[in-house]
Amino acid sequence: MSFGQAALRTAIAFAMLAAVFPAASAAGPHPADGQLSDWRGDATMLSGESRVSKGELIYDDWLYDDYGADLNGISDMPVFRGALAPTRGDYRYPTNSARYGYNAADLRQLRISASGRGLHIAAFLQTMKEPDAAAVTLGIDTGLAREGSGWPDGAGIDSSEADTFITFWGTGGWITDRRGRRERLRKQIVNLAENAIEVTVPWRHIPYVRGRTVTLYAISGLADPPSGGYLQVPSGSATATQPGGGLLGGGGTAAFDVAFDPQEEWTRVVGSHWGEEKQSRLLADRSVTGLGRQVRLSQLEGTATESYAPAPGRFYNRIFRSTQSFGEGINLKPASGPAPGGSPDPQFLSRHQPYGLYLPDDYTPATPAALLLNGHSLDVNHNEYQAVSPNLFNQLGDERSSIVFTPLARGMDTWYIDSGFKDVLEAWDDLRAHYTVDEDRTSIGGYSMGGYMTYRMGLLMPDRFAAANPYVGPPAYQLWQPPLPPQPPSDYDVAGQTNNIVVNGLNLPFEINNGGVDELVPPAGPLQQAQAFRDAGNPHLFYFFPSSDHFALILADEWAHTRDFLDQHPERDLSPDQVRYKRYPSMDLPQHGLRFDGAYWVDGLTVRTPGDACAPGASCESASGQVDAYTLGHGRARGTTQPVTTVFPGPPLPATVQGVNRLPGSAITPQNRFEATFTNLSAATFDTARMGLDPDEVLTAALTVATGPGAFALTLKGDFPAVTATLDGLPVPVQQTAEGIVLSLNMTAGAHSLVVTP
């Protein structure tokens, strides 16, 4: 062979190698250094889903699904509060919460890449209080012959899938090749701030793996660093140092969680609510068969990206990163003790949180979809409707072309009061950022505690929704049986009582559903709430099912009349003729930057006496202020009401129906004028554009002070020229601002006439 021929063959060989193994930097693209910014691939953030992005295989797991094998064949209650959200898996964490947090082996995300140096792995856990509390094993099936049986390191997996294994925890690990040779893993590092363990496995330890098409499997469990493997799970109850729920005499799997589970199963009512039915059944057989992901490793040495789009007509768990971190792990919050009905304190503490997401069968990102925010019940989670009443997604999702989503709300019993309220808003923001949603066709609903959320969030922010449908929801925080006050007595006797703000529902149609023999929500409370809606002249229908207990409606899984109600009120109106809003400073959430001071074209309401700031439970908790306003700029007289009384035959059950229809006012000649009555307020802001008023013309107003006379700051938003203003014929100071004008008024109790002249 000539020198030229040899050189040519060498060049061809190098070119072939380069095609299989794309060039990498000397340090590799993902060195195990704890600096996670070099993992740049775009995750699906959908539990069970995986994709290749920018040379990384990224898998997102189900959160809070770490319950191991189903050995007893029945559903079990979690150790934390969740009496109506069973698990299939039987494993329970050691009671040393400082180390395990009741969630230490919960795999959140797995990323895998490759370079010229080796295989790179980043495992992200939902909870990591100690770097060596949990262990992860990546099993690689190369298709080559394997020596030995069973997974190493005490994993307790017998299935033949995988011939090469990398087991690691924060302070150690092992590489086991297909010949059964075991070498210590020398490169792993922990990033405690991100709950991540990074690992690099040099190709020299597994040379036969590089560039192959392989199937990957992964499990996680509790680490036992002294033994160099997994902590085993004995039978019986957990102790401070040992998990519980395993096999009598041992011999079961050590795995609490399994990766690559894209099509989770849901056994209605009696199954798991946590996305772990399939894995728990397989782990009972010490198997991971079917829970794997095929990938061509040569793709992971480059920047390969696979397209990904979620399939419509499916239920997902989406994961988002919250701005709120309350620590690590799970707060058990038992159902007995000082707060048997729950508390606003967060239960699920970590930064990343899930929410239930159903995409209708005709969803396409090109078309904005309707949206239904549907809150979950007490002691249940974000998967409640998938696990108990999946027909809801058909009737309120598919048949309305609507996305349906259910936030976890930071726990089973937070009542959407504090951390739970913030979680709903953050989940909602995440959904709007990643899916195409029609803001004007967004509605709110929920069952039981989720019904309470519907009242609370709907009446505090009525202009965010087109319609509302609470089911068996208590109007007040926890238990209310009028004429008695809410029980048990708490800081939220006023701030948690939505009956106080029913007047805010003037432009938000409600469909209220309650039962006559409800053992958890006594009928007296909903009956009083419905009466308040009638007294206020709010648009609503009250379905009262005399024979229904607390659970009958959700178990019946029939939502057709609610579907029809939502279809009758498909869009919100941000420019109604009349606005009525009652402000309670004690209902604000300043710790989350939330202030509830108006809706539609009124905001900036400021309570005069005793002031505009108050914490729940304080002496000023009952302080409130209210505005009732009407614009003539739309050319309509004030609306009228029409009573509704009918009988509903079902399904799901017969009901009596009472309510109010609001009818639009008759046409009148438009006027550049509005009317407003203020009760215990010292400031308010009106948006003239939404009121149909013209800042360039003379604007008049009839203002009435019902209570709380004194100095009053009235802001009118709009593109005003230089203007003068008079109150009852006397000049008043006018301040021009970027948003409009501020009028400094001094009003006594009674009626006043305002004129603003360009």
pLDDT of 239-296, one tens digit each?
A: 999 999 999 988 999 999 999 999 899 999 989 999 999 999 999 999 999 999 999 9
Torsion sign over Cα 228, 229, 231, 235: negative
Q: Which residues contact 736 (CB under 8 A, 6 or more apart)?
A: 720, 722
Strand pairing class (655-663; 540-545): antiparallel
Token digits for 347? 């239960």
> Do you know the residue count of the chain?
758
Tell me: pLDDT of 462 over 70.
yes
What is the reported pLDDT for 27? 40
Tell me: pLDDT of 24 over 50.
no
What is the reported pLDDT for 146? 79
What is the reported pLDDT for 160? 83
Instruction: Compute CA distances 553 → 298, 518, 544, 546, whole Å.
Output: 53, 11, 11, 12
- Give the mean model confidence (pLDDT) for residues 334-360: 91
What is the reported pLDDT for 338? 72
Residue 10 φ/ψ, nearest 5 degrees: -65, -40
CB-neighbour burial class of residue 667 (10 A; exposed 0-12, middle 13-18, buried 19+): exposed
- Give the pTM: 0.94
Do you find a cis peptide bond into 695, omega within 30 degrees of 0? no
pLDDT band at 147 (very low <50, low <70, confident <90, very high): confident
What is the reported pLDDT for 340? 81
What is the reported pLDDT for 28? 56
pLDDT of 178-217, one tens digit each?
A: 999 999 998 899 999 999 999 999 999 999 999 999 999 9
Tell me: pLDDT of 20 over 50.
no
Q: Which residues contact 387 (CB under 8 A, 6 or more apart)?
A: 85, 266, 268, 269, 271, 272, 273
pLDDT of 514-562, one tens digit each?
A: 999 999 999 999 999 999 999 999 999 999 999 999 999 999 999 999 9
- Give the mean model confidence (pLDDT) for residues 579-583: 98
Tell me: pLDDT of 15 over 50.
no
pLDDT band at 149 (very low <50, low <70, confident <90, very high): confident
pLDDT of 413-461, one tens digit each?
A: 999 999 999 999 999 999 999 999 999 999 999 999 999 999 999 999 9
What is the reported pLDDT for 16? 36
pLDDT band at 339 (very low <50, low <70, confident <90, very high): confident
- Give the mean model confidence (pLDDT) for residues 605-620: 97
What is the reported pLDDT for 337? 72
Tell me: pLDDT of 631 over 80.
yes
Angle formed at CA 692 by CA 690 and CA 698, multiple of 5 degrees: 125
pLDDT more than 70, % of the chain: 96
Tell me: pLDDT of 5 over 60.
no
- Give the mean model confidence (pLDDT) for residues 389-393: 98
* Residue 565 to residue 655: CA distance in whole angstroms: 15
What is the reported pLDDT for 336? 77
Cβ atoms within 10 Å, residue 203: 17
DSSP-assigned letters across all residues of 12-41: HHHHHHHHHS----TT-SS-SSS-GGG---
Looking at residue 393, the DSSP 8-state letter turns out to be I
Tell me: pLDDT of 682 over 60.
yes
Would you say 447 and 454 are in contact if contact means Cβ atoms under 8 Å apart? no
Tell me: pLDDT of 673 over 50.
yes
Q: What is the mean pLDDT of the chain?
A: 94
Beta bridge partners of 176: 165, 182
